[in-house]
Structure 1
Amino acid sequence: MPSSSLDDKLCFQLYATSLKMTQLYKPMLAALHLTYPQYLVMLVLWDQEGLGIKDLAGRLQQDSGSITPLVKRLEAEGYLLRARDPRDERNRVLTLTQAGRDLRQASTAIDQAIADNCSVITPQFEVMMEGLRKLNARLGG
């Protein structure tokens, strides 16, 4: 029979770990004038520029309504531009400004700092990531 202890609940461990990870990122991202959700948007755009808001939202596993305010703030910061999609006037295509592209280089130290703080060796990391991807896929439908 599964334990009813909070510490034995997968949902709590995921929640608590997510909070700690976000707090770990917070001061490093503040130096770049980014929140954690904005950083996730930038990660996607550094990987694939020219996405529409709908595609970006899908990539981040969120709805467009949650993504649009993040994109607007990033545009106000001067990191990206929104333009009408010539194929679909209802959609906006996102392109990075030079400041947005430059931010990628400024963010490279973050990955190393996170790795150092987590003290996870590569084989453990790969196993953890594979398990989380499988769980995400199973929960997603």
Structure 2
Amino acid sequence: MLSNPDSVPFSATLHVRDTCLCLHVQRAARALARTFDTALKPVGLNNGQFSLMMSLNRPQPATMKSVCDLLAMDRTTLTAALKVLHARGWIGSFIDPKDKRGRLLTLTEDGRAVLAKALPIWEATHAELDAALPGGNADQLRDSLKAVS
């Protein structure tokens, strides 16, 4: 059999499959996203929208930059996600009086009501997931994920 110096052995594929942190985190993220999407569907939210709305649940309106930083999201992606929530009347945005180039974001009264319905669903779903972790140590997993993010 001829050896091809440009080929990668199948054993390397198996090694990556079994050890790649990025692959395992991506798979887990997709599974968690599906779980929360299903759970939050009755209130008309998906997991990303829930996280976005929670990021706006603060005493003062949020800047686009602060939300992008919190959610590790670029401005274009945030703008697209906001359009859906704005069309539903769940968020408001207005020009930042301190910086006319920027916008401030806030939850509307309807948005707060939806978030109030969604939170108990999130809490119950999260409790089930936490309990299902080996050793029930969700805090250790969170700490490990924070260390690499």
TM-score range, shorter chain: 0.7 to 0.9
- Deviation, 1:15, is 0.9
Match of 2:89 in 1: 78
Answer yes or no: is the 8 Å Cα contact 1:49–1:94 preserved in 2.
no
Question: Among residues 31, 38, 43, which one is paired with 2:42 in the alignment?
Answer: 31
Offset of 1:32 from its aligned partner?
A: 1.9
Would you identify which runs of 4 or more consecutive aligned residues in structure 1 move more than 2 Å? 120-123
**Aligned residue among 51, 54, 57 for 2:65:** 54
CA contact (8 A) 1:82 1:92 kept: yes
Contact kept? 1:82, 1:93, Cα under 8 Å: yes
Q: How many residues align?
A: 135
Q: Which amino acid aligns with 2:140?
A: V
Contact kept in structure 1, 2:96 and 2:102, CA below 8 Å: yes
- State the partner residue of 1:96: 107
Displacement after TM superposition at 1:114 (Å): 2.8
Q: Is the 8 A contact 1:6 1:12 kept in 2?
A: yes
Q: Is the 8 A contact 2:50 2:115 kept in 1?
A: no
CA drift at 1:120: 3.3
| 1:11 match | 22
Local SS of the residue matching 2:33: helix
Structure 1 unaligned spans of 5+? 137-141
Q: Would the aligned equivalents of 1:80 and 1:100 in 2 still touch at CA under 8 Å?
A: yes
Aligned 8 A contact 1:53 1:92 in 2: yes
One-letter amino acid matched to 1:127: Q
**Bigger mean CA offset, 94-103 vs 28-37:** 28-37
Amino acid at match of 2:102: N
* Equivalent residues of 2:57, 2:106 under 8 A apart: no
Letter of the aligned partner of 1:8 in structure 2? T
- The residue type paired with residue 75 of structure 1 is H
CA distance in 2, matches of 1:41, 1:121: 29
1:123–1:63 Cα change, 3 Å: same
2:145 aligned residue: 132
Deviation at 1:133, TM superposition (A): 0.5
- d(CA) in 2 for partners of 1:36, 1:97: 19
Distance 1:44 1:36 in 2: 12
Root-mean-square deviation (Å): 2.1
Aligned twin of 2:4: none
Which of 106, 110, 115 in structure 1 is aligned with 2:122? 110
